[in-house]
Amino acid sequence: MNILFIYSSAIIPENGGVQRVTHDLQQYLASKGHNVIFLTLFKEKYNAKENSIQYFLPIKKLLSKRNIDYYISLVKTEGIDIIINQDGMNPNLTKFCAQIKRYKEVKIICVFHNSLLGNIKNFAISHANQIKSIPIPFLNKIFEWKLIRNILTKFYIFKYTPHYQNIIRNYNQIVTLSEAYFEELKAFVPNGNFSKVCSIPNPCNLKLENIHFQKVNELIYIGRLNSTQKRVDLLLQIWNLIFKKHPTWKLSILGDGPERYNLENMSKDLGLKKVHFYGNKNPIEYYKRAKILCMTSAYEGFPLVLAEAQTFGTIPIAFNSFASITDIIKDGDNGLLIEPFNISKYASILSELMENEEKIYSMSRECQKSASRFSIEIIGGKWDTLLTQIN
């Protein structure tokens, strides 16, 4: 079977996220005898090289005739049977992918790699810094009101309903990262054909050489550094509440992003000790030695970092702020879930865990047992089955 993945960024697995998931799926599907290629945008924006499987649209204007002609030609030349849109929440790319239906009989799949409503449901927390910049104190508070949240959500649903209706109408299959996101999709298309909707989580492709690691008193954060979706600033506030109580522990922050400079300055202004910003690093050695991974995101899709941490017996702790998190973390068993966005509660529960070596040991073992659910063999197998059975 010939398969084409389409995404808005070059497929560079080192960048993590959807790019790494797409790369890992390509490797798995290729091992099963499928021919898999990528079509992506804006080659010049990335240090990416065109190779035998990665192709780039010729110009930036996505829906231009030149790009569509290139796309149609690639599909015909490569004999593509199935197209997988890995950026289903992008209206323009979703329209672009569906253009193929006018020229060739081919199956198309749309994948949602994030919560459909997480950004708007948690608007006050994900846009906190922008809201604080409003010079009128009264306006800073109204976004926390339930009435305002409901109005914003209804407006958001109204705005994007045509996008999701078009997907239901034009795509053969829709994939979410969790069944928990079905209800979010129903908010946009309550009467849609949900027989073509299924859930497949992201795969974790990390392999263990052995299951026993020498753990140290270290907390880790791994991901992009921003103060919108990831809310790394909240993690610094949490560390500020507990670091003096735990002088033998340290906090290691891996990743980069537009907010790194501001976050480093925030750490200095708070007078934090034993917090280190390492930039983009291979996380394996940190997973092996750290006892706990901290996440403070406002919302997510299906964050691989949690399953990766569990693979190495590193206990994840996170706000219960997005629907799929309970697919990954069973609270008190293989991780800890905190009421969104209660910083003091997060600090208290984290501190209690840091003081309880017996609990750390037992939860670490349970993490390793549960992580296998998301192995590339299991998740890749689900994709292989879907591709052979798609209508």
Encode the chain (391 residues) as per-residue pLDDT tens digits.
Answer: 999 999 998 888 877 889 999 999 999 999 999 999 999 986 655 555 556 799 999 998 999 999 999 999 999 999 999 999 999 999 999 999 999 988 778 999 999 999 998 887 776 676 666 666 665 565 656 666 677 778 888 999 999 999 999 999 999 999 999 999 999 999 999 988 899 999 999 998 887 666 677 899 999 999 999 878 899 999 999 999 999 999 999 999 999 988 899 999 999 999 999 999 999 999 999 999 999 999 999 999 999 899 999 999 999 999 999 999 999 999 999 999 999 999 999 999 999 999 999 999 999 999 988 888 999 999 999 999 999 998 6
User: Residues in the chain, how many?
Assistant: 391
Distances (CA, A) of 296 to 32, 233, 366: 37, 9, 22
Angle 173-174-177 from CA coordinates, rounded to 5°: 140
Report d(CA 328, CA 77) in Å as an integer. Answer: 41
**Smallest Cα–Cα separation from 204: which of 3, 13, 367, 377?**
377
- Tell me the two tokens of residue 54: 């990665």
Q: Which pLDDT score is estimated for 206?
A: 82
- Tell me the two tokens of residue 303: 């964050």
Contact 36, 70 (CB under 8 A): no
Q: Is 109 helix (H, G, I), strand (E, B) or coil?
A: strand
- Tell me the two tokens of residue 352: 């209690």
- Beta pairing class for 336-338 and 315-319: parallel
What domains, with CATH codes, occur in the chain? 2-203+376-389 (3.40.50.2000), 216-374 (3.40.50.2000)
pLDDT digits (tens, 9 = 90+) for 311-333: 999 999 999 999 999 999 999 99
User: Is the preceding omega at residue 277 within 30 degrees of 0, hence cis?
Assistant: no
Report d(CA 288, CA 297) in Å as an integer. Answer: 23
Burial class of 99 by CB neighbour count within 10 A (0 to 12, 13 to 18, 19+) = middle
**Smallest Cα–Cα separation from 385: which of 135, 200, 178?**
200
Q: Which pLDDT score is estimated for 10?
A: 86
**Smallest Cα–Cα separation from 383: which of 26, 2, 17?**
26
Report d(CA 199, CA 299) in Å as an integer. Answer: 18
Q: Which pLDDT score is estimated for 143?
A: 64
Q: Which pLDDT score is estimated for 308?
A: 93
The dihedral region occupied by 171, where left means phi > 0, alpha psi between -120 and 50, and beta the remainder, is beta
The angle that helices 91-98 and 65-77 make with each other, rounded to 10 degrees, is 50
Contact 2, 79 (CB under 8 A): yes
Q: Which pLDDT score is estimated for 49?
A: 58
Q: Which pLDDT score is estimated for 133?
A: 61
Distances (CA, A) of 43 to 55, 165, 390: 9, 31, 31
User: How many CB atoms neighbour CB 113 within 10 A?
Assistant: 20
Q: What would the DSSP string read from start to end of 355-381? A: T-HHHHHHHHHHHHHHHGGGBHHHHHH
User: How many CB atoms neighbour CB 135 within 10 A?
Assistant: 7
Cα Rg for the chain, rounded, in angstroms?
22
Q: Which pLDDT score is estimated for 141?
A: 66
